[in-house]
Amino acid sequence: MSSVFFALLLAATPPPDADEILRRAQAVVLGETAGYTLRMTVTRPGKAERVVEIKGFKKGDDLGLIRYTAPPKERGTAYLRKGDNTWLFLPSAEKVVRVGPKQNFGGGDFSNGDIFRLSLTRDYTATLAGEETLLSQACWRLELKARDRSVAYDRVVYWVRSDGTYYPVKADYYTLSGRRLKWLTLSEVGRLGDRSRPTLLTMESALEVGAKTLLRFLTIDDKAKPDDRLFTPSALERGE
Amino acid sequence: MSRRLACLVLALSAAAGATAGEQEIELGLENFYYRTDETLFNRGNILGLDRGEDLLRGTLRLKRSLGAARLVVSGFVERRLGGGDATETTLRQAYLQYGWGEGLTLRVGKQRIGWGSGFAWNPTSRIEPPKNSLNTSLEQQGAVAARMDLIPVTWAGLVLVAARSEVDRGDLPFETPRARRRTGALRARFLLADTDLALVFSGGKNQRTLVGFDLARDVGALSLHAEGAFYKGAELPPSRDGQTFFRLAAGLLHARGDDSFTLEYFFNGEGYSDASAAAFFSRLEAAFRLAPEAYLAAVGTAYAGGLGLRRHYAQGSWTRGSAGGKWTLSGRGTVGLSDGGIALTPGVVYAPRGNVTLHGEAVLLLGSKESEYGHSPLRGALSARVKVLF
């Protein structure tokens, strides 16, 4: 009786507006501030998998820092993102160089922007385009349109679970010409850190059949409180 | 390496080894093969070179971190096989670093400073030996220094360095004159309007005092940089004490997928014009006949001067590779725009495992025989390096 009541109640409750859905979905995987470790696996048809492990910090929408921790030959290489600026630290040269935000991150299917610029709410205007079942999940379908042309994708279609968890399920990324460039699937919901969340992010390329990059979160520390000065080129140059 | 420094390094290494923390050890084997000739810079084979010269090295690098402290020691034992057989031990780096939060870091010991944004040339650096612009991937020796990094706010920082260094170009099969310098240097760094800006001051013993700047910012898909320095009096002979000179390295980096491209132009304001270069070269010829010691010192200018004899240079490079990948391919070309000298440096890195890398590189000298590169006694080079990380 009560479950029927709640089902009716949910059905009768209007969904939150699109910006609110997007805002809550964005905070699901990594909150405002976090420290984390993850494993990135890059798959290319006919080639051996490439696996790297990463330790990272994020703070707000503007600050991100990651360092490669494995394999040993990549250890110490680090990326810093601050607003629209991205720097790369090369330990062999002990040098910090600027790299563009649209460059592929680590040679995979995620761009630097995908990794560091996690704020879709700031870069896109969202509209609720409907409700769909996707990957066996009831979802809201959001249409995101770039606020300006500085971002990597002109349009993003974003599916968010409508069961109250706000877990993002999938995102399709489109170019200015309307072509789907790649798509992201968020899966393997599990407890990591203080709460449950999708722990596997898979980016697949529409440009190369079978090409994909997996980001598997290994640890997440929602209580990390990195100092803002960690996110400076000077701190990057200091190495780890 | 001085005995005192060696003892200190060993003591620090032992102390670090006795404590818990993260540790990395890298063992390597390096071989540099040079094809040589008698040229203007080696008249009568005064450098005593065989046609083929080999430098064979065993290398070691240790890095140990314990909380906010870090110890890095690296060096090599080198056996020269060729015109003169000799074994030498060289310490590339040996330093201790400690950080007080994110705002203050102190590093003391022999260390790489990484001073300046230029890829191949760093006009603002008087601290370290200059890079080998024909092969910027070679690991350089550091300077004995105390370095303090201060980050009071996120948009500004200060780097202070006091250093003692012997400036010569390493990885050569012959000795070059070493300028012993004591340097005090300051770099004030700012991030303003998405632009990296640094103001630099550097001066000290056996060198020209300079003021410089360093700029970097992204423009579309390009990352641009410009590093420049003003100083009074030349570093190349004649000294021209009353004259102010300017050097500039400006370039760009573009990365697309697994490929990255760089381009850099270097203006050496005190570099020789065609007439001055011809005069310098003829003085060399005369010196060789009359005073071999003076000739050797003058030849050393081409190496110890560090940033080049002429005014205009350019370098372009391409690299294909990605994190965790097995293969990295690269090609670099350095062109003396003033004299038509060309140096090509193709390279490959193969990583059969995540902790093993094999590097192979070549240096091919092309272009005008009357150019700076054309006069080099080294007519070509091959290098092979193997590194294993633990």
What are the pLDDT digits (tens) for B329-354? 999 999 999 999 999 999 999 999 88
Summarize the confidence of residues A78-84 as an average pLDDT: 88
**What pLDDT was estimated at residue B128?**
83
Regions of chain B with pLDDT less than 50: 1, 16-18
Beta bridge partners of B384: B31, B360
**What pLDDT was estimated at residue B158?**
96
Q: Which residues of A touch B220 (CB under 8 A)?
A: 100
**In Å, how far is A17's CA from the nearest CA of chain B?**
34
- Check if A33 contacts B (Cβ < 8 Å): no
**What pLDDT was estimated at residue B12?**
53
**In Å, how far is B256's CA from the nearest CA of chain A?**
6
pLDDT bracket for residue A1 (50, 70, 90):
very low
Q: Does pTM surpass 0.90?
A: no
Would the CA dihedral through B305, B269, B216, B107 be positive or negative? positive
**What pLDDT was estimated at residue B176?**
73
Q: Which CA distances in Å does A196 have to A188, A189, A192, A199, B253?
A: 10, 6, 6, 9, 41
In this predicted structure, the answer to whether residue A86 has a pLDDT above a threshold of 70 is yes
Q: A87: closest CA among A109, A70, A63?
A: A63
What are the tokens at B332? 């670099």
* Burial of A203: CB neighbours in 10 Å, binned 0-12, 13-18, 19+: buried
In this predicted structure, the answer to whether residue A159 has a pLDDT above a threshold of 50 is yes
**In Å, how far is A116's CA from the nearest CA of chain B?**
16
Contact call for B325 and A50, based on CB within 8 A? yes
Q: Which residues of B touch A101 (CB under 8 A)?
A: 218
**What pLDDT was estimated at residue B21?**
65
In this predicted structure, the answer to whether residue A102 has a pLDDT above a threshold of 80 is no
- E strands of chain B, at which residues? 22-36, 52-66, 69-81, 86-100, 104-111, 143-153, 156-167, 179-192, 195-205, 210-219, 222-232, 244-256, 259-268, 312-320, 327-336, 341-353, 356-367, 378-389
Burial A48-84 (b: 16+ CB within 10 A, else e): eebbbbbbbbbbebbbbbbbbbbbbbbbbbbbbbbee
**In Å, how far is A90's CA from the nearest CA of chain B?**
11
The chain-wide mean pLDDT, for chain A, equals: 86
pLDDT bracket for residue A223 (50, 70, 90):
very high
In this predicted structure, the answer to whether residue A240 has a pLDDT above a threshold of 80 is no
Matching residue, tokens 């097995």: B326
Burial B275-302 (b: 16+ CB within 10 A, else e): ebbeebbeebeebbeeeeeebbebbbbb
The amino acid occupying position A194 is D
pLDDT bracket for residue A113 (50, 70, 90):
low
Beta bridge partners of B61: B26, B74
What are the tokens at B138? 């070679």
In this predicted structure, the answer to whether residue A97 has a pLDDT above a threshold of 60 is yes
More reliable by pLDDT, A111 or A30: A30
**What pLDDT was estimated at residue B20?**
52
Q: B143: phi > 0 → left, psi -120 to 50 → alpha, else beta; which?
A: beta
DSSP structure class, residue B188: E
Contact call for A73 and B389, based on CB within 8 A? yes
What are the pLDDT digits (tens) for B2-20? 555 555 555 555 554 445 5
Closest partner residue to A73 (CB to CB) among B151, B222, B354 is: B354
**What pLDDT was estimated at residue B6?**
52
Closest partner residue to B24 (CB to CB) among A75, A97, A98 is: A75
